[in-house]
Amino acid sequence: MKAAILVESLTGNTWKAAERIGADLQQAGWSIVGMNAVRKPDHGAIQQADIVLVGTWVHGLFVVGQKPWGIDNLRGLPSMAGKKVAGFCTYALTPGKSLDVITRELLSTGGEVIGGLTLQRGRLAAHTEEFAAR
């Protein structure tokens, strides 16, 4: 299996989560064909991939108004028709409905959304392992 990973990261937590997910998948025998910023997707890697994983971080006030960062970049993703896709987001206190928003945007690419997960930044190791296992 081949995976492409697209990431939006500000402080590096989401990028680190993506790297951990990629490493966990590689340990399971997967190939990572690309890991790029959502705003600069590698179209070739997306075409090669059996699954495209898309992650961003959650911003907003402490407990209200949470939403995925870079929603316009998610809306600008290329067509992923015929591809399996899954989303993830990193958060500090609460993700709100961010994963639902990510899922909606991934569906609009024509991809088959097979799941997603919120990753609490204080528990990245456990949460990224769970995401890769799913």
Question: For the residues 13-31, what does the mean pLDDT come to?
Answer: 97
Q: How many CA atoms are closer than 13 Å to the CA of 5, on its beta-carbon side?
A: 26
pLDDT over 80 at 65, yes or no: no
Predicted model pTM = 0.94
* Residue range 86-111, pLDDT digits in tens: 999 999 988 999 999 999 999 999 99
Question: For the residues 113-126, what does the mean pLDDT come to?
Answer: 95
Using alpha carbons only, how large is the chain's radius of gyration in Å?
A: 13
Rounded CA gap, 112 and 6, in Å?
16
Phi-psi region of 70 (alpha: psi -120 to 50; beta: other; left: phi over 0): left
2 burial level (CB within 10 Å; 0-12, 13-18, 19+): middle
Helix (H) or strand (E) holding 79: none
* DSSP E strands, 38-120: 51-59, 67-68, 84-91, 112-120
pLDDT on residue 63: 66
